[in-house]
Amino acid sequence: MDGLKITTSNFSVTETVNRIVAQIEKEGWHVFARIDHAKEAHGKGLELRPTELILFGNPEIGTLLMQNQQISAIDLPMKILVLEDETSITNFDTQKND
Protein backbone atom coordinates (compact mmCIF):
# COMPACT_ATOMS: atom_id res chain seq x y z
CA MET A 1 0.00 0.00 0.00
CA ASP A 2 1.28 3.44 -0.90
CA GLY A 3 1.88 5.73 2.03
CA LEU A 4 2.61 2.94 4.50
CA LYS A 5 5.90 1.65 5.83
CA ILE A 6 5.51 -2.09 6.48
CA THR A 7 7.79 -3.77 9.00
CA THR A 8 7.89 -7.47 9.91
CA SER A 9 7.91 -8.52 13.56
CA ASN A 10 9.32 -11.72 15.02
CA PHE A 11 6.57 -11.73 17.67
CA SER A 12 2.83 -12.34 17.75
CA VAL A 13 0.45 -9.46 17.16
CA THR A 14 -0.28 -9.15 20.89
CA GLU A 15 3.41 -9.20 21.87
CA THR A 16 4.29 -6.75 19.10
CA VAL A 17 1.57 -4.35 20.26
CA ASN A 18 2.69 -4.71 23.88
CA ARG A 19 6.27 -3.85 22.88
CA ILE A 20 5.24 -0.89 20.72
CA VAL A 21 2.97 0.50 23.45
CA ALA A 22 5.76 0.16 26.03
CA GLN A 23 8.16 2.06 23.74
CA ILE A 24 5.60 4.78 23.00
CA GLU A 25 5.00 5.30 26.72
CA LYS A 26 8.73 5.16 27.49
CA GLU A 27 9.22 8.04 25.03
CA GLY A 28 6.67 10.07 27.01
CA TRP A 29 3.86 9.84 24.48
CA HIS A 30 0.26 8.94 25.28
CA VAL A 31 -1.59 5.85 24.01
CA PHE A 32 -5.16 7.02 23.42
CA ALA A 33 -6.55 3.65 22.33
CA ARG A 34 -5.67 0.09 21.52
CA ILE A 35 -8.35 -1.40 19.28
CA ASP A 36 -8.50 -5.18 18.81
CA HIS A 37 -10.39 -5.49 15.53
CA ALA A 38 -10.27 -9.31 15.59
CA LYS A 39 -11.83 -9.43 19.05
CA GLU A 40 -14.62 -7.11 17.93
CA ALA A 41 -15.19 -9.20 14.79
CA HIS A 42 -15.29 -12.45 16.77
CA GLY A 43 -17.82 -10.85 19.12
CA LYS A 44 -20.13 -10.51 16.11
CA GLY A 45 -19.49 -14.06 14.91
CA LEU A 46 -17.08 -12.97 12.18
CA GLU A 47 -13.59 -14.26 11.45
CA LEU A 48 -10.58 -11.96 11.25
CA ARG A 49 -6.89 -12.71 11.69
CA PRO A 50 -5.26 -10.88 14.62
CA THR A 51 -5.44 -7.16 13.85
CA GLU A 52 -4.82 -4.35 16.35
CA LEU A 53 -4.68 -0.60 15.91
CA ILE A 54 -2.76 1.68 18.27
CA LEU A 55 -3.74 5.37 18.43
CA PHE A 56 -1.11 7.52 20.09
CA GLY A 57 0.30 10.99 20.24
CA ASN A 58 1.61 13.85 22.26
CA PRO A 59 -1.06 16.49 22.98
CA GLU A 60 1.58 19.20 23.44
CA ILE A 61 2.97 18.61 19.95
CA GLY A 62 -0.38 17.82 18.32
CA THR A 63 -1.95 20.97 19.68
CA LEU A 64 0.87 23.10 18.27
CA LEU A 65 0.37 21.47 14.86
CA MET A 66 -3.36 22.11 14.99
CA GLN A 67 -2.88 25.70 16.15
CA ASN A 68 -0.70 26.24 13.09
CA GLN A 69 -2.97 24.36 10.67
CA GLN A 70 -6.15 23.07 12.26
CA ILE A 71 -6.90 20.70 9.39
CA SER A 72 -3.85 18.63 10.45
CA ALA A 73 -6.19 17.13 13.06
CA ILE A 74 -7.41 14.72 10.36
CA ASP A 75 -4.06 12.89 10.69
CA LEU A 76 -4.02 12.91 14.50
CA PRO A 77 -3.62 10.96 16.61
CA MET A 78 -0.94 8.93 14.91
CA LYS A 79 -1.62 5.27 14.21
CA ILE A 80 0.17 1.95 13.99
CA LEU A 81 -1.63 -1.10 12.61
CA VAL A 82 -0.35 -4.52 13.68
CA LEU A 83 -1.71 -7.57 11.85
CA GLU A 84 -1.12 -11.20 11.10
CA ASP A 85 -1.04 -11.69 7.34
CA GLU A 86 -2.29 -14.65 5.32
CA THR A 87 1.06 -16.44 5.83
CA SER A 88 0.90 -16.02 9.65
CA ILE A 89 3.60 -13.33 9.63
CA THR A 90 3.13 -10.37 11.96
CA ASN A 91 3.55 -6.98 10.28
CA PHE A 92 3.12 -3.48 11.54
CA ASP A 93 2.31 -0.57 9.32
CA THR A 94 2.94 3.09 9.95
CA GLN A 95 2.51 6.16 7.81
CA LYS A 96 5.57 7.09 5.77
CA ASN A 97 7.15 10.45 6.50
CA ASP A 98 8.06 11.24 2.88
Per-residue pLDDT reduced to its tens digit, 15-46: 999 999 999 999 999 999 999 999 999 999 99
Domains in the chain: ranges and CATH: 4-95 (3.30.310.70)
Strands (E), 11-95: 30-36, 51-57, 78-84, 90-95
pLDDT at 97 over 70: no
C-alpha span between 72 and 92 (Å, rounded) = 23
